[in-house]
Amino acid sequence: MDIFLYVVIFIIGTLFGSFFTLAVYRIPLKKDITHERSYCPNCNHKLSFLDMIPIFSYLFLGGKCRYCKQKIRPRYLLLEILSGVVFVLFAMSIKMSIFTLDISKLVYFVFTLLYFVTLFILAGIDKEKRKLEKSVLLFGYIIETLYIIYLYIVEKDPNIYRYVIYLSIICILMLLDILVLRRKVKDSYPIEILLLCMLLLVYTYEAVTILTITFTLVVIGIYGVMKKITNYSKKSVQKVLEKNNVQPIAFYLCVTNIICFIIANYYIFK
């Protein structure tokens, strides 16, 4: 029975993975992500139900649009598979089982998946645009606030003061960004990274967040060294480095946080 449960969770994950590709493309363009039907970005033909079945549509269509035969990037397929795998790994990390499932664990599972949705979209946009969408960050804060309210009212969590402090800091940072930095600073990316770190801190606690930041710095350091080695033999090395000196820090933070969080849950839910 648990295998059936994990299969269902994997399917749900692939559906979200398909949604992530749409959200990452449309949100920076300020387009509707809920009511407007999906369409091919090359020929603008609206996709049918058979064109949007995660994984299977890509495989059956040979990685091409049914209408204009334009090749579809393999990353869409990989994201759908990866999303399904992440959902299943998280379910396994908290020992989800049909026979022992309770309301508390189910609520935790649902809110965490919504938290993952936030990180997936933030990571995808940052990978493409080197920016964080405030609307997606706000969605993450709303999810965390609703979960905190649930913990306080239903679970009687004594850590409510911790949450209040962190959420207050987030409000101050957002006001600072809106009222001061947007007018005086051209690049608000650093403050956006700080807001993201606060998002991670509220939901995954201090230890996981510290590990996330540490591993992110290690990854960025390794990437920087490899980049220099790769470009060492090229001409105009300095121009190449200057062009690529902005790392998708939020992308690394989101991916690393998901990994660290799932691993931590394996030790917590023994």
What pLDDT was estimated at residue 199? 93
pTM of the shown model: 0.88
Taken as a whole, the chain contains a residue count of 270
The candidate with the shortest Cα–Cα distance to 9, out of 81, 65, 91, is: 91
Q: How confident is the model at residue 241 (pLDDT cuts 50, 70, 90)?
A: very low
Q: What residue segments make up the domains of the chain, in order of their start? A: 1-101
Which 3 state secondary structure label does DSSP give 64?
Answer: strand
What pLDDT was estimated at residue 180? 66
The answer to whether the beta carbons of residues 5 and 95 sit under 8 Å apart is no
pLDDT in tens, 141-190: 999 999 999 998 888 888 788 888 888 888 888 887 777 666 666 667 88
